[in-house]
């Protein structure tokens, strides 16, 4: 599969997730076999006004051979100006978010709110396509609440010049509840000639195969990778010895090279809770981690926990 001139090897992608797909987590996903990992979505308007926190979201890891930035906004001129600028120069693919269901995003007319205004969405995509040779992709949902218009929206994206699309098989109203509509994803794939990436409810090999049965060209994994970046190697059939403690340490080390310790501690709390999911007798260690403000002490707590866990297993 190719997205523009970018060739993928195994067609497995880490989905962009706000507050989750930081540079450390993306690096681990790529290490475990993801073709590429999409960064947290960034506001085009915030980039225009040089917001430092937003710029921090554009930091990438050395092993990200295919770099993908996801931007959002509802002003075609601002979106195009950011795509054209040097701000996104290092990225190979620019993805436009037209699927985020968060109230604060849709309230501004961004994210999945754009599924209610096909003409505006078209103008945004075509404006970005015109100012760059890089592939422009679009991520969207089944529709806005009861208006299931993913097929028409996909056709509009293709007409506007998108190089590929990602369809999450839930409506905006569903957020992340209920089931992803795989039949709708199949219809989207059949309706366009550009590559289609399927997203939603892929959490293991079985659900991955189910998504592939829709005919999609690639599969994007989101929540199934939380605390579980090795899901990519599992799907690829690679029997790797996963060391959760080492993964956590790698994650922390990467964040430490870019951010202050206080921020790393704060950001890692949720990740550590996900990394510990499935371990027995981990309630106490979780409680300790969320209260601890010293990163070295957090690591000490985790090392003791995993050491005791190995003793119980043996």
Domains, the chain, with CATH or none: 2-235 (3.20.20.70), 244-313 (1.10.1200)
How is residue 166 written in tokens? 């990602």
Measure CA 187 to chain center: 23
Confidence at residue 312, expressed as pLDDT on a 0 to 100 scale: 74
Confidence at residue 314, expressed as pLDDT on a 0 to 100 scale: 62
How is residue 214 written in tokens? 């829709």
The string of pLDDT tens digits covering residues 127-176 is 999 999 999 999 999 999 888 999 999 999 999 999 999 999 999 998 88
How is residue 236 written in tokens? 């690829």
Q: What is the DSSP letter of 40?
A: P
Can 100 be counted among the known catalytic residues? yes
Strand 218-221 and strand 12-14: the pairing is parallel
Q: What is the rounded distance in angstroms from the CA atom of residue 293 to the CA atom of residue 307? A: 22
Among the options 100, 128, 157, 282, which is catalytic? 100
Q: Which of 188, 108, 112, 196 is nearest to 152 (CA)?
A: 188
Question: What's the average model confidence in pLDDT over 181-208?
Answer: 97
pTM, entire model: 0.95
Question: 302: which residues sit within 8 A by CB, 6+ positions away?
Answer: 245, 248, 272, 285, 289
Q: What is the rounded distance in angstroms from the CA atom of residue 32 to the CA atom of residue 34? A: 6
Confidence at residue 175, expressed as pLDDT on a 0 to 100 scale: 85
The string of pLDDT tens digits covering residues 79-125 is 999 999 999 999 999 999 999 999 999 999 999 999 999 999 999 99
Question: 42: which residues sit within 8 A by CB, 6+ positions away?
Answer: 54, 57, 58, 69, 70, 71, 72
Q: What is the rounded distance in angstroms from the CA atom of residue 12 to the CA atom of residue 32? A: 11
Question: What's the average model confidence in pLDDT over 61-89?
Answer: 98
């Amino acid at each position: 599969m190719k997205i523009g001139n970018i060739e993928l090897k195994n067609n497995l992608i880490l989905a962009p997730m706000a507050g989750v797909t930081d540079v450390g987590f993306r690096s681990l996903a790529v290490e475990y076999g993801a073709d590429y990992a999409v960064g947290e979505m960034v506001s085009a308007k915030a980039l225009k006004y040089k917001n430092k926190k937003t710029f921090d979201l554009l930091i990438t890891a050395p092993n990200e051979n295919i770099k993908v930035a996801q931007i959002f906004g509802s002003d075609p001129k601002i979106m195009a100006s950011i795509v054209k600028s040097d701000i996104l120069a290092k990225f190979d693919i620019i993805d436009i978010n037209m699927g985020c269901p968060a109230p604060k995003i849709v309230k501004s007319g961004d994210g999945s709110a754009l599924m209610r205004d096909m003409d505006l969405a078209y103008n945004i995509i075509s404006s970005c396509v015109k100012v760059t040779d890089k592939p422009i992709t679009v991520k969207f949902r089944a529709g806005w609440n009861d208006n299931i218009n993913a097929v028409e929206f996909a056709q509009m994206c293709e007409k506007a010049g998108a190089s590929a699309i990602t369809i999450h098989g839930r409506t905006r109203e569903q957020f992340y509840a209920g089931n992803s509509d795989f039949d709708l994803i199949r219809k989207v794939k059949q309706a366009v000639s550009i590559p289609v990436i399927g997203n939603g409810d892929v959490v293991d090999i079985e659900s991955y195969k189910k998504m592939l049965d829709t005919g999609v060209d690639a599969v994007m994994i989101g929540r199934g990778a939380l605390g579980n970046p090795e899901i990519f190697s599992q799907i690829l059939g690679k029997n790797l010895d996963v060391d959760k403690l080492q993964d956590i340490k790698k994650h922390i080390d990467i964040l430490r090279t870019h951010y202050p310790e206080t921020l790393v501690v704060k950001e890692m709390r949720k990740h550590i809770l996900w990394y510990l999911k499935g371990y027995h007798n981990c309630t106490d260690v979780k409680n300790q981690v969320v209260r601890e403000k010293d990163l070295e002490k957090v690591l000490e707590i985790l090392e003791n926990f995993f050491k005791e866990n190995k003793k119980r297993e043996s």
